[in-house]
Amino acid sequence: MSQAAPNLAESEGNLIVLSGVPLLADPRGALYWREHQILAVADLHLEKGSSFAARGQMLPPYDTASTLACLSDLIADYSPRCVVSLGDSFHDVGGPTRLGDADRDNLTKLQRGRDWIWITGNHDPEPADGIGGVFHETLKIGALTFRHDPKGGSGEVSGHLHPVARIAHRGRAVSRRCFAADTTRLVLPAFGAFTGGLNVRNAAFADLFGTLAFTAYLLGDGRIYSFTAKRCLPD
């Protein structure tokens, strides 16, 4: 690498220019907007484990702790002025009440000294008590609009779809979470420890981007691998 890298995370991320705004896609699944020091993550689905447990499937109660630990690493690396959680931050409306004490303390620590914005999502449509932060349906900053459910507008940064892409090579296939973006719209990968994914070749992405002229930025181990949507395999 010829240029000096400002920090480790940034050197291995990928630059995506959205409506003229340079954004850094971190291979851990977050988006960083250097100009405003905003760190965005999507679809944390906190308390998904306990949500399943309430319905009789006792998934491990460690998903919230895992997700917050990953988020904590990112916050330590970037020291953002503002964190935007792009909706479906909790798996269901009961999530904030079920949040365990240790996890709640952890969340409070992460919020200390910075702005924290909860964008509302379909899983968590109402503002909730006891989790700090402020609530917005959408957030416009400069040329960009942050929202949960993508509408296809220009400069839109969203989540909701949980994009994953599949690449086949030499008879074997690898599936990874990914960012999906063209020059004006971007969908973040789901960040939560228990969140699954939707193949980028699903009709939902074609509807959003119009064609297959978008790129999938696959999350690798410390690195982003980008492929055109055409190169990705359908399910």
Partner 1 sequence: MEPARDLVDAPPQLPDVFARWFAGRGWQVHAHQLALLARANAGRSALLIAPTGGGKTLAGFLPTLVELSERGVRSRNLKSTGRALVRPQGLHTLYISPLKALAVDIARNLEIPVQEMGLPVRLETRTGDTPTSKRQRQRRDPPDILLSTPEQLALLLASADAPYMFGTLKRVILDELHSLVTSKRGDLLSLGLARLFKLAPELITIGLSATVAKPDELRRFLVAQPPDGRAHADLVTAQAGAQPIVTMLDTEEHLPWAGHSARHALGEIYAHIKTHKTTLVFVNTRSQAEFLFQELWRNNDDNLAIALHHGSLDVAQRRRVEDAMATGKLRAVVCTSSLDLGVDWGDVDLVINVGAPKGCSRLLQRIGRSNHRLDEPSEAVLVPANRFEVLECRAAIEAVAENAQDTPPLRTGALDVLAQHILGRACGEPFIAEELYAEICAAAPYAALSRADFDAAVDFVATGGYALKAYERFAKIRQDKDGRWRITHPRVAQRYRMNVGTIVEADMIKVRLVRSRRSGAVVPRGGRLLGEVEEYFIETLRPGDTFVFAGEILKYEALVEDEVYVSRSDATDPKVPAYEGGKFPLSTYLAARVRAILAKPEEWRALPEQVREWLEIQQWRSILPKAGDLLVETFPRAANHYLVCYPFEGRLAHQTLGMLLTRRLERARLRPLGFVANEYALAIWGLGDIALHIKRGDFSLAQLFDEDMLGDDLEAWLAESALMKRTFRSCAIIAGLIEKRFPGEEKSRRQLTISTDLVYDVLRKHQPDHILLRAAHSDAATGLLDIKRLAEMLSRIRGRIVHKALHHVSPLSVPVLLEIGRESVYGEASDMLLAEAADELVREAMS
* Chain contacts with partner 1 (rule: CB under 8 A): 48, 50, 52-54, 56-63, 65-66, 100, 166-174, 176, 193-196, 218, 220-221, 223, 225-227, 231, 233-235
Q: How far is the CB of 195 from partner 1 (least distance, A)?
A: 8
Cα torsion 107, 112, 115, 121 to 10°: value is: 10
Count the Cβ atoms, other than its own, within 10 Å of residue 78: 20
CA 175/CA 26 separation, integer angstroms: 18
Closest CA to 9 of 22, 24, 21: 24
- What Å distances lie between residue 137 and 39, 102, 146, CA to CA? 17, 28, 9
Q: How far is the CB of 153 from partner 1 (least distance, A)?
A: 28
Which residue number, 49 or 150, has a Cβ lying nearer to partner 1?
A: 49
Residues 6+ apart with CB under 8 A from 229: 165, 180, 200, 201, 205, 209, 212, 213, 214, 215, 216
Q: How far is the CB of 91 from partner 1 (least distance, A)?
A: 11
Q: How far is the CB of 27 from partner 1 (least distance, A)?
A: 10
